[in-house]
């Protein structure tokens, strides 16, 4: 199991990042909460990882805080919640807010997250309630990220939202609703996720 990687940021295209570790590029999928806080291209980064082995692929997931990785690992143990849905959850809500929603039995808030229906939300509340104490605590501070200039910000944002579990039509609608002329793909994604969480 690869526990962490330390290297330089080689590529960033939400929700993927490539980390160059001594000349080897590791392709990593990250929740947007970590992606937004990645340093600029060429800068050093240390990222906690979780490797998922499938018959057709080995997929590396990366997180800037131990809180996020711990929640991801707990989420994928829940029946019906795979890595893609877990990334969508972490992208749509902070660890602390997720814990609060589960503690408060807030099904209405959970179903606003991508890939979460009423039954899955209810299962999350039941299965995650006993694991919450391990998730709470202060988040690790991470450096502010620097946006990568996109070729087409809105298209990159839509692609990232689809990768996080939104249906293509819904992703396009959310991205276009919050896009402005000079907005980067990261700004559009952030606004779209915040908008979805408020509804």
The structural domains of the chain, ordered by start, are 4-63 (2.40.50.140), 67-135 (1.10.150.20), 153-198 (1.10.8.10)
Query: How confident is the model at residue 6, as a pLDDT?
Result: 93
Query: How confident is the model at residue 9, as a pLDDT?
Result: 95
**Whether the predicted pLDDT of 63 surpasses 80:** yes
What whole-number distance in Å separates Cα of residue 122 and Cα of residue 110? 9
Using pLDDT thresholds of 50, 70 and 90, give the confidence band for residue 11: very high
Using pLDDT thresholds of 50, 70 and 90, give the confidence band for residue 27: very high
Query: How confident is the model at residue 148, as a pLDDT?
Result: 33
User: Over the stretch 142-180, which tens digit does the pLDDT of each residue have?
Assistant: 333 333 333 467 777 887 887 777 777 787 788 888 877
User: Over the stretch 187-198, which tens digit does the pLDDT of each residue have?
Assistant: 888 888 877 766
pTM over 0.75: no
Name the most confidently modeled range: 43-47, 77-81, 187-191: 43-47
**Whether the predicted pLDDT of 140 surpasses 50:** no
Using pLDDT thresholds of 50, 70 and 90, give the confidence band for residue 43: very high
Tokens of 14: 């939400």
Q: What is the mean pLDDT of the chain?
A: 82
């Amino acid at each position: 199991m690869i526990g962490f990687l330390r290297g330089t940021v080689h590529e960033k295209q939400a929700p993927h990042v490539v980390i160059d570790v001594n000349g080897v590029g590791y392709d990593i999928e990250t929740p947007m909460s970590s992606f937004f806080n990645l340093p600029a291209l060429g800068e050093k980064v240390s990222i906690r990882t979780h490797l998922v082995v499938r018959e057709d692929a080995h997929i590396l997931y990366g997180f800037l805080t131990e809180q996020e990785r711990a929640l991801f690992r707990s989420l994928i143990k829940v029946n019906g919640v795979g890595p893609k849905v877990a990334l969508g959850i972490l992208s749509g809500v902070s660890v602390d807010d997720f814990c609060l929603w589960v503690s408060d039995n807030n099904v209405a808030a959970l179903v606003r997250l991508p890939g979460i229906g009423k039954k899955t939300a209810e299962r999350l509340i039941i299965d995650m309630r006993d694991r919450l104490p391990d998730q709470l605590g202060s988040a690790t501070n991470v450096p502010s990220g620097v946006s990568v200039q996109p070729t087409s910000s809105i298209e990159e944002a839509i692609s990232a939202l689809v990768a996080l579990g939104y249906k293509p039509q819904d992703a396009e609608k959310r991205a276009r609703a919050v896009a402005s002329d000079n907005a980067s793909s990261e700004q559009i994604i952030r606004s779209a996720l915040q908008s979805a969480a408020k509804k």
